[in-house]
Each structure stands twice: as structure tokens, then as C-alpha cells.
Amino acid sequence: MGNTFKEEFIEHVRSQSDIVSVINDYVTLKRKGRNYWGSCPFHGEKTPSFSVNPEKQFFYCFGCGAGGNVFNFISKQEGLSFVEAVKKLAQRAGIPIPEEEKSPQERQREQERSEQLAVLKYAAALFHGSLVKSAAAETAREYLKSRGILPQTIEKFQLGYAPAEWDALYRQLQRKGVSPPIIEKTGLCLPRTKGAGYYDRFRSRIMFPIHNTQGTVIGFGGRVLDDTQPKYLNSPETALFNKRHQLYGLCFAGPAIKQTGRVVVVEGYMDVITAHQQGVSEVVASLGTAFTAEQAKLLLKHTYNIYIGYDADAAGQNATLRGLGILSGLGANVSVLSVPEGKDPDEFIRKRGKEAFLALLENAQGLIPYYLAQAMAGEEINSPAGKANVLKQMFPLLAELKNEVEIDEYLRMIAGRINVDEAAMRRMWAKLMGKKLPLDHKTVILGKNSGDAAAEPKEASAATTAEQDLIRLMLEETTVIPLAMQENLLSMVNTESHRQIIDMIFAVFREQKNVTVQAVDMRLQEAACAVLSKILAEERGFDDRHKAAEGCIRYLRYNQRQQRIAVLEQIIKESELKGVTVANDILTEYLQLVRDSKLFTENA
């Protein structure tokens, strides 16, 4: 895990940051048995499924799968990077943060970053002052007034106005002594195509400062007050600003997201501003309709309950489908707002008020009902072909679900909505699920490529269980590790996250022999760290750890042989079909593997 601190400092911060105490600042925990339990802060739930292990210093939610160490928790809860989480915990524990050793290049980049941030902050103040005080901004003030935006909201969001002059901002920055290269790197000004000098990117526009999660201005959006195109103009991509990685209003929405356990993603600046003004503050915008995986991951650091409230026009609906695919693929609980009468959220809230918008949230459609409505809208559902096409679209989506009760309810709902015989439809479903789904049934809606593997089985395979047991055993009994290394365990493990964990266990063992959970998970990426937490949270007892480890390794070797046998059988079958003689070494290997597998089965 990359960071700018030495491992000794990180470990010191960790040792002084008891995970139960830290999490208790955010979640009410109660001790039950060896662990502490509470309601998960990352997804809405009525029955507490969030577990904290004080002995091994990790958390795991059996509901949404979030897990990790104390740094992972703070990162996810506060929306911070790993380094920022270390700093926050160090400050909490009263530990001085060491001066970072930086190269000349790093110091130069940091200096330029600091100068650019100062320029953006100064520009935001200038734009805001212009909107509030300038006679030239009267039209902008009237426009905002017509949209119902109050003075206190203008102040909260630092709304501004860029004057019509070609270089008003550039001249102000020059007088302040800012160098032209720094001004250009902020994206606020561009070099003239003819002659020397620069001109302002934003002119005659209402300005919307875009803040990062820490509330620092990193870019701008500007809206024209006439028919000039483009209607909205964003800052270009810079070292500080990339709209794929940012969400408008997130720095203001954080407290409300924590309180409500949800976030609403809308399309535009005004949607966010109006919602916040009306008291619905868990609302952010995706800086246009191009919702990205980076934005989704940023949201998932705050909550897994995500509502999409894009405009009702065709572009908004297409964006909704893309957003659903990205979010569902990352494990979010996704719902869709149906804003009536073709209105956008801004117009709806202004005309109908806060309570009406909250009612939309309460009645938001889940993932499957929304897709069903979209599938039905594109088919003639009174015809057999139309009904079949709807089922063809819906079955692969249902196959992605892991909860059998959910699947059962959705099958019943679909049968009723398209008026087909439920028993016949269930027979079709059973037949489909009895074999692997064809790759061409994988839908673009769910963000799957045609070459993606089929959904994971609902129950863990014996091989997966053996891999997990070996991870537990190695962390409980260090002397099991040399046995696993000697048997080349990594070559038998199929699950990528398990491979990463085992590889890290081996690396720590080679370095220091004394392998602890903390030493391993500190070096894992967040996803693998969550998997490790899940493995450790599901406790299993072993009477004889060495014997259990040997049994797991024997089974994984058997499983490896079975996979190789399947490959060789395919080679032999293809050779026979082509009338080609099978190579002796292939046959010899195949027969030997079959004998070994038979011996394993007989002795099991």
C-alpha cells in the first residue's frame, strides 16, 4: 500500500488507534461474545451486521462486505486517501507527524500545486465579489433570483460571475504578481493564438466553483446567460482537476450522507444547489451525464445506497442506464428516481417542495424494476415475441443476483407485469440456470463485456473454502507457512484476492518470520484487505492445524489435477475429431493424473 510515511510510523499510529475506540466515534457498538457489533455506516440496515474484532483489529460487515483495518475504516468513512487517514489518526492520538523527505522535483511540484490552488481560491473570490457587487452582474443576479436561489445559498456555494471582458481575470492575476505559466496551468486563461498575451476562458458566465472533498476549489463550471454555446463550460483537465474523479457538491453533502445513509446523484449544478437550499443535502452532481467508475468509487467511500436522479429526457435516461451498470457492478444498492412530468430535479423541487422530493426517494425504483420498465418500454409486450424479448433481457440480470429470495420475488413480479404463465416462466428460468449462461446474454447494461466470466456461484466451492482455511491457518499458526511455501501453494490457488493475501503472507514471513494479521493487511490493497477481513470474521475451529493444512493442500492439489484433466480431455477430444494422433506425452500425463485422482478419491 503506497504511502509517504515509513512503516514504523504507520505501525506506531496503528498501535495507538484501537479500532473499537475509533469506530465507536462513528458507530454505537455493543459487545457480544468476542466481538463488537453495530449498524453498518456504509449501508442502511435495521439488523446490525457490522462486526469489529478487538483482538485482530479489523472490521467486517456481513451485509455489504466492507472490511479492513482502522485505516481502511477512516478512509472509507471520511472519503480520505490512505495518507490522509494516517494523518487524521495520528492527530487523534496526539502523535507528531514527521516531516516528509522530498526530492527537489517533489518540492517543485508541491510549490506549483500550492500556487495554483491559491490562484483558484483568489479567482473564486473575485468571481463571487463580481456577482454580489458588480453592476455588470445584474443580469446574473436576476437570473439566479428567477431560479429561486437565495443570497445565503449564493454565499454557501460561492457562486460568482465572470465579466464579459476578454482578459479581466488575467489582468487581476497579473497585478497580483502571478506568473503566466501558473495562470495557464489552472485552466483559467489561455494563450492568444495571435500575438502575445492571454485571454480568460470564462466570460459572461455565472460561475460555479468546484471543490474537492476537503472543500478546496480545484476548478469551475460556467453557465451562459444567453444562447451562446456551449451552455455550460467546465475547467479543462489539469493537475488539480479531472471531472471523471470529482462530484459537484460532495464536500457540502458529506454530513447529510452520513445522517441519511444515502446519496442522490443528479445531473447539474442547479439540481444540487436547489436541493440543498430546500434541505435535501445528500445530493451531488456528476459534472455532466458521463458518470464514471472513479466517481462511483468516490461515492462508495461514503455509502452503498445510491439514488440516480438524472433528467427524464433521452440523454438523462441513457446516462441513468450507464450509471446503474457502473454502480451495480461495484456492489452498490442502486435506486432510480422517477421525476414526473419530464421535469428535472431542480424544477420539480422548486415547484413541489422538499416533501414531494423526499416522497420520490421513498418510492424510487430498485435496479430490477427499473430495468424491467425499460425493457417493457421497448417491446410489444402483448405479443409472444415481445414477452420473450423481455425475458431474454431480464434473465441475465437476475442471474447476477446472489439472494434466492430476491430472485423468487422478482420472477413473480415479472410474470405479473408481462402477463405470462408463472410456472412456465420458472421452468424456462430453471432450464437456463441449469447450464452456463451464453456469453452473448451478458448485457451491456450491467457493464459486462462479452468476454466476462459467468457470475460467481452462490455457494463457495470446496476449493475456495480450502483456500480460505489455509489463510486462516497460516495466520493462526506461523509454522504452517513453510509447509505451504514448500508445497508451492500459490500455483494451486485460483481466486485472485486469495493469491494476493497468500503472497503477502509469504513476503512478511520471509522478512520477519513473525506473521501477524496487522503486518499482512497493512500492505494489501483495499479490496484484498476486505476479503481478508471476511475470511477472519467467519471463524472456524481446527483441532490440529497442521493436519487441517495438509488436508487443504491435498484437496487443492486434487482440484488442480482435475482442472488439468479437463484441459487434456479437451485436447484429446479435439484431436480425435480431427483424426489426429494424440501425442504420447499428452496421453501419459492424462492417464497418470486420472490414476492420482482416483487414489485421492479412494483415500478421502
Domain end point (choices 446, 474, 498): 446
- Pair 174, 226 in one domain: yes
List the grid coordinates of 378: 421497448
Instruction: Give the count of beta carbons closer than 10 Å to the beta carbon of residue 466.
Output: 24
| Contact by Cβ (8 Å): 498, 471 | yes
Q: Grade residue 435 by pLDDT with cuts at 50, 70 and 90.
A: very low
In a domain, 453, yes or no: no
pLDDT at 439: 28
Task: For 99-116, write each residue's pLDDT tens digit.
Answer: 766 778 878 888 999 999
In a domain, 348, yes or no: yes
> Which domain covers residue 539, as residue numbers?
462-600
Instruction: Give the count of beta carbons closer than 10 Å to the beta carbon of residue 519.
Output: 19
List the grid coordinates of 340: 414526473
C-alpha distances in Å from residue 156, one per residue of 208, 235, 457: 11, 21, 49
Q: Grade residue 494 by pLDDT with cuts at 50, 70 and 90.
A: confident
Distance separating alpha carbons of residues 179 and 192, to the nearest angstrom: 16
Domain end point (choices 320, 342, 363): 363
Distance separating alpha carbons of residues 121 and 72, to the nearest angstrom: 31
In a domain, 99, yes or no: no
Strands lying side by side in the sheet with 263-266: 283-285, 263-266, 305-308, 333-336, 365-366
- Pair 225, 202 in one domain: yes
- Pair 428, 500 in one domain: no
What CATH number did the domain enclosing 579 receive?
Answer: 1.10.860.10
- Pair 222, 270 in one domain: no
pLDDT at 88: 93
In a domain, 330, yes or no: yes
- Pair 120, 233 in one domain: yes
- Pair 485, 547 in one domain: yes
- Pair 119, 232 in one domain: yes
Judged against a pLDDT cut of 80, whether residue 483 lies above it is answered with yes
What would the DSSP string read from start to end of 193-222?
SSSSSEEES--SEEEEEEE-TTS-EEEEEE
In a domain, 457, yes or no: no
- Pair 194, 271 in one domain: no
Helix axis angle, 422-433 to 404-418, nearest 10°: 130
- Pair 473, 593 in one domain: yes
Judged against a pLDDT cut of 80, whether residue 553 lies above it is answered with yes
In a domain, 506, yes or no: yes
Judged against a pLDDT cut of 80, whether residue 200 lies above it is answered with yes
- Pair 204, 273 in one domain: no
C-alpha distances in Å from residue 173, one per residue of 122, 180, 442: 9, 9, 54
Instruction: Give the count of beta carbons closer than 10 Å to the beta carbon of residue 388.
Output: 14
In a domain, 451, yes or no: no
Q: What is the pTM of this model?
A: 0.63
Which position has the grid cell 443476483?
A: 401
Q: Grade residue 361 by pLDDT with cuts at 50, 70 and 90.
A: very high
Q: In this predicted model, which residue has the larger pLDDT, 582 or 362?
A: 362
pLDDT at 59: 94
In a domain, 454, yes or no: no
Buried b (16+ CB within 10 A) or exposed e, 579-600: eeeeeeeeeeebeebeeebeeb
Task: For 495-539, write each residue's pLDDT tens digit.
Answer: 888 999 999 999 999 987 788 888 898 888 888 888 999 998 887
Q: In this predicted model, which residue has the larger pLDDT, 452 or 512?
A: 512
Q: In this predicted model, which residue has the larger pLDDT, 419 or 446?
A: 419
What CATH number did the domain enclosing 210 receive?
Answer: 3.90.980.10
Domain end point (choices 363, 391, 421): 363
User: Under 8 Å CB-to-CB from 196, ≥6 apart: which residues?
Assistant: none
Q: Could you give the number of structural domains in the chain?
A: 5
What CATH number did the domain enclosing 76 receive?
Answer: 3.90.580.10
**What residue spans of 237-366 are helical by DSSP H?**
250-260, 269-277, 293-300, 314-329, 345-352, 354-362
- Pair 235, 254 in one domain: no
What CATH number did the domain enclosing 281 receive?
Answer: 3.40.1360.10
- Pair 234, 249 in one domain: no
Residue 483's Cβ-count burial label (10 Å; 0-12, 13-18, 19+) is middle
